[in-house]
Amino acid sequence: MKRWQLKRTKVDIGAMAADMGIQQATAAVLANRKLLSRKQTHDFLYPDASSLHNGLEMQDMEKGLDLITMAIKKGKKIAVYGDYDVDGVMSTTILSRTIEKCGGEVTYYVPHRQQEGYGLNNKAVEQLAAEGVGVLFTCDNGIAAMGEVALAKELGMEVVILDHHEPAFTEGKEGAWRDILPSGDAVIDPKRRDCEYPFPFLCAAGISYKFALLLLGRFGYSGDPLEKELLCFAAVATVCDIVDLLDENRTIVKLGLQEIQHTTNVGLRVLLEETGLADKQVTEYHLGFVVGPCINATGRLESGRIAVELFRETDVDKARAIARHLMQLNEERKEMTTQAVERLTEQLDQQETPLEKVLVLYDGEIHESIAGIVAGRIKDKYYHPTILITKAEEGAKGSARSIEGYHIFEALYNCRELFTRFGGHAMAAGLSLPHENIPILRQRLNEECKLTEQDMTPVLRIEKILDFSQIHMKLAEELKGLAPFGKENPSPLFATQHVWVERIRLVGKNKDMMQLTLREDASRMVLSAVDFNGLENLRGILKELYPAEDCDKIIQYGKLPMALDFVYSIDINSYNGRQSVQLVIRDFRVSK
């Protein structure tokens, strides 16, 4: 069951559409995203590099640049210390390639997920110091590494932290929240409360990209072809880290998608070839669901360092071998994920008591590397904040995925004494804790959770109610121009009321997808539609109205005896060289 919510705006949509020469439905989408002027709309539809903010406005950015510049000129050894997910891999690649280009002596370190866990650890810091590293440069981690940063300083290293996670905080004397920051020589994180950077929602690779452009400029490499490679890396990470696809993030992804098809990076080009994307128009979907999972699989099952090596490799044959290994690991990861989700789903469905508001689940059989993916799948299915905890080499380790309206990092921060380490942001977090603290965590989170039943019902936010007469190719093309879609810029959803289903055709391997022919009452117009997940919903509706034995007969007959209201996105279907408008159904219910 989903809630349908029509977005409201005080803007005169008709006047806006006439002024901008666009369809009213498109104007409604832009107005709902608070894009009300010609300039705002133009910048949204046609972003370019000039719309990126000045990276020097970020707190400590110039300080970090000065330190790395001086280290390069003095020949100090710089270690880029990343993370094993896509954002960390791409950040590590961007910074190491850039420092190398500028003539620096650089190495990189990606911790092993199972053996070391997330972020800095004392053993790695000591190892890097023993190897003669003079500057420790963290990316996608470090903001919470108080002790490890202090150790690095004690061992004589300068420390630059580049992160996008929430800093720890405490309440100041005047009641205002105050950040608790590690003692790095430069701490670059737009989520710092004292940072006045206008867009705090960059992923680590996005911040690394801004840093890299400024560093290249200092060494006279502005406009170098490397910049386009770095843009592609930042685009992949921006999509995969599920940050807000607005403002700079939208610009990075939009421009990156234009470049990625022609990338000169050997590793990225080979990965696109091996995943069957070389001759396709690569979209944000391909980055998030094809390319990204292959990169992530290395850090989950082996080492994220392998993925960094792929994007630093210049030999085609070696790169192809690495890319194929990434794909093999991803297939293993998918099978493990499927088994884990099925096992947990079965347990939750058989549970006699109602689900708690915050699901704190323990399964020692689940590989800790896929805990985040599995937690996300469970969260999507039940729409409850979900923390999945599994057995680790020391104690237990978990990943959290949240829903709108529940800031998981703040909730965990209120229980911080239960953890040996934790970190994250509003929608996702990671944690380690002793086994005996798991039930305490479960109890504390649920006692303090203020979510209502309504909060835990997923919402479909509808841009505008349309008649079928308003849906045509010109509108579909305008809406396509609003991509890339993602967090805070979702694919626009519309609704039409009182629609008759003229034809149902079950397709797909399991005959569980529906191809529909729809006729609207008001305009009498007919449109084709596809529904990938609605068959069980339709069966449920029919069972409330007719005997169970008749429901499948009605579906096979292909014509429903009642009108429905539909929520859908508008797509362009290409078949045999011909294009047509197609609705992609997201939900439906019986018309009143």
CB of 16 closer than 8 Å to CB of 2 = no
State the DSSP code for 489: B
pLDDT at residue 379 is higher than 80: yes
Q: Does the CA dihedral 260-261-266-271 come out positive or negative?
A: positive
State the DSSP code for 202: -
Q: What is the pLDDT of residue 539?
A: 94
What is the C-alpha separation between 42 and 277, in angstroms, rounded?
Answer: 30
Per-residue pLDDT, averaged over 1-12, amounts to 93
Cross-strand pairs, 162: 139, 188
Position 384 confidence tier, pLDDT thresholds 50, 70, 90: very high
Cross-strand pairs, 571: 582
> Could you report the per-residue pLDDT of 77-132, keeping only the tens digit for each?
999 999 999 999 999 999 999 999 999 999 999 998 878 878 899 999 999 999 99
Per-residue pLDDT, averaged over 484-494, amounts to 95
DSSP string covering 546-576: S-HHHHHHHHHHT--SS-EEEEEEEEEEEET
What is the C-alpha separation between 579 and 572, in angstroms, rounded?
Answer: 6
Q: What is the pLDDT of residue 176?
A: 77
pLDDT at residue 172 is higher than 80: no
CATH topology of domain 351-448: Diaminopimelate Epimerase; Chain A, domain 1 (3.10.310)
Nearest Cα to 124, choosing from 84, 169, 96, 90?
Answer: 84
What is the C-alpha separation between 512 and 24, in angstroms, rounded?
Answer: 35
Q: What is the pLDDT of residue 90?
A: 98
Task: Say if domain 51-327 classifies as CATH 3.30.300.10.
Answer: no
Per-residue pLDDT, averaged over 58-79, amounts to 98
In 62-124, DSSP assigns E strands to 77-81, 105-109
The answer to whether 51-327 and 460-590 have equal CATH topology is: no
Per-residue pLDDT, averaged over 575-591, amounts to 93
DSSP string covering 115-151: TT-SS--HHHHHHHHHTTEEEEEEES--TT-HHHHHH
Q: What is the pLDDT of residue 97?
A: 98
CB of 322 closer than 8 Å to CB of 329 = no
What is the C-alpha separation between 181 and 215, in angstroms, rounded?
Answer: 24
- Which two three-digit tokens encode residue 52? 């990126």
Of the CA atoms within 13 Å of residue 69, those in its CB half-sphere come to: 16
What is the C-alpha separation between 232 and 225, in angstroms, rounded?
Answer: 12
The dihedrals phi and psi of 80, each to the nearest 5 degrees, come to -90, 120
CB of 198 closer than 8 Å to CB of 52 = no
> Could you report the per-residue pLDDT of 535-561, keeping only the tens digit for each?
999 999 999 999 988 999 999 998 999
Q: What is the pLDDT of residue 177?
A: 83
What is the C-alpha separation between 257 and 486, in angstroms, rounded?
Answer: 14
Q: Under CATH, which architecture does the 460-590 domain have? A: Beta Barrel (2.40)
Q: What is the pLDDT of residue 254?
A: 96
pLDDT at residue 351 is higher than 80: yes
Exposed, middle or buried, 354 (CB in 10 Å: 0-12/13-18/19+)? Answer: exposed
Q: What H or E segment, with its residue span, contains residue 248? A: helix 247-260
Amino acid at 588: F
Nearest Cα to 449, choosing from 531, 356, 541, 363?
Answer: 356
What Rg do the C-alpha atoms of the chain give, in angstroms?
25
Q: What is the pLDDT of residue 221?
A: 96
Per-residue pLDDT, averaged over 565-591, amounts to 94
What is the C-alpha separation between 474 and 570, in angstroms, rounded?
Answer: 11
Question: Token pair 């810091």 is at which residue?
Answer: 125
> Where exactly are the structural domains of the chain?
51-327, 351-448, 460-590
What is the C-alpha separation between 422 and 511, in angstroms, rounded?
Answer: 44
